[in-house]
Structure 1
């Protein structure tokens, strides 16, 4: 049966043309093509001290037209104000007015851009319909290539790939514009770069993704569970960085996972209420528990009508496409408590704190899919 794996072998580095233990700026440049079925995204988010939240995602290929083999640049900017109002702009820019560099992150979509060199980034979205950002990101941790390569290979012969290369903790400063009003902000941010040659709806049954920050540690977790096509294989990405920003733990082995679930009536699916992960590496054991306390967002892409969706992913036409793929996508976002416990020959350290995480669930319920 076809499966999925995190690429960690020495020959994987040679195949990908990267160096173990060294991330170079070109790796955050364009890595893929507009070949049908392929796509790429440069993602930036921020949680500001005043409660403002921002998201900017730039893609050279519009997912709605990903089958025609040409670039169709598009980006989204999301701003949630301190009082909970959400403002979203979905922008499309002519390909002849856009470019994406290969030497470093250099995404230019008309007047909008995201540029940077693994240490500093500038993200600008010119306000459209009163929504935009002008933000500077300063990396506080090393770039993180999960498993050493950031690549997940899927299929009998690794014919599919899905990636997530990140800078999980940054200082963010600048301005946001919502309702035509611009104000200064500062806070903590995250950047990742993904590229893939298979639709997430086809590759994955579900995933849990979050970051956890304490004064001494940064944690990034991305718990992928593949679709039935790939044997419901679990690929848990988990990294820990210390207060100097250095990666001190990067999971590359088997993982023990214990989950308790609850049932959501709106989406008709079971989701984790609490998940405990245990990772081992030589003499070190790392345990991470995440338990949600509040639901921030419920997004039922399968069941919702088109007028209830900002992202063009709901409605009767989309539902027919989901049915053809055997998919029923839903998305949850939670406010949670995280606890990190690390034990080695020198003793045990434990830190707890608040975090937010997402649970993206494109699959249909199945007892083989590690839920419950």
Structure 2
């Protein structure tokens, strides 16, 4: 920056959303996470469409090992949540267990995020300028953002025999653009 030089080493990830419509008009909520665990890299999201699109879920998933892609066909991935309770600060349902299961031929991969701590819980209305809060309350604004830490486990099965297991720390999020809906279990 300017005349100053900075160096770093490590793993990076760039994320950017592009679109020509307000995201709230398209998406109701999402779980999104990324992790490096052992030799595995995981990028996983379950995006639930807005009500006008029937709350249709869409999965984004990539699992790689040592840079080689093992699974990235979202049609072969299932998403599930477990141990759901309502977060008091936001009123949103939050899962302690978020799981993605991918199949690729005889290979099955199970990626499980296990929440240990909520490190950020924010309601959009609370971050709005005071002069806009009353208007947002009248409109029913109910968006919220939560960020979690915990563990991610990656399991690899070949013909249903587990051949690899890695566990490490992870960070992931839950973004809500509207009122909570009853999540599928």
> Which consecutive unaligned segments of at least 5 residues does structure 1 have?
1-123, 127-132, 136-173, 175-184
**Scaled by the length of structure 2, what TM-score is found?**
0.84
Alignment of 1:103-122 (within 5 A): none
Check conservation: 1:201, 1:327, Cα contact below 8 A: no
What is the CA-CA distance between 1:219 and the residue it aligns to? 0.5
Aligned equivalent of 2:14: 191
Aligned equivalent of 1:251: 73
Aligned equivalent of 1:202: 25
Distance 1:359 1:242 in 2: 26
What is the CA-CA distance between 1:223 and the residue it aligns to? 1.3
Matched, 1:260 2:74: no
Alignment of 1:346-357 (within 5 A): 348-357=163-172
Aligned equivalent of 1:272: 95
CA separation of 1:134 and 1:315: change in aligned 2, threshold 3 A: farther
What is the CA-CA distance between 1:192 and the residue it aligns to? 2.5
Aligned equivalent of 1:75: none
Describe the SS at the equivalent of 1:193. coil
Of the three residues 107, 127, 132, the one matched with 1:284 is 107
Task: Tell me how many residue pairs correspond in the alignment.
Answer: 182
**Scaled by the length of structure 1, what TM-score is found?**
0.44
Distance 2:81 2:71 in 1: 20
Q: Give 1 or 2 for the bigger CA radius of gyration.
A: 1
Aligned equivalent of 2:65: 242
Aligned equivalent of 1:219: 42
Aligned equivalent of 1:337: 151
CA separation of 1:286 and 1:228: change in aligned 2, threshold 3 A: same
What is the CA-CA distance between 1:215 and the residue it aligns to? 3.0
Cα RMSD (Å): 2.6
Distance 2:97 2:134 in 1: 30
What is the CA-CA distance between 1:187 and the residue it aligns to? 3.8
What is the CA-CA distance between 1:258 and the residue it aligns to? 3.4
Greater relative CO, 1 or 2 (CA 8 Å, sep 6+)? 2
Distance 2:5 2:82 in 1: 40
Distance 1:200 1:322 in 2: 19
> Which consecutive unaligned segments of at least 5 residues does structure 2 have?
none
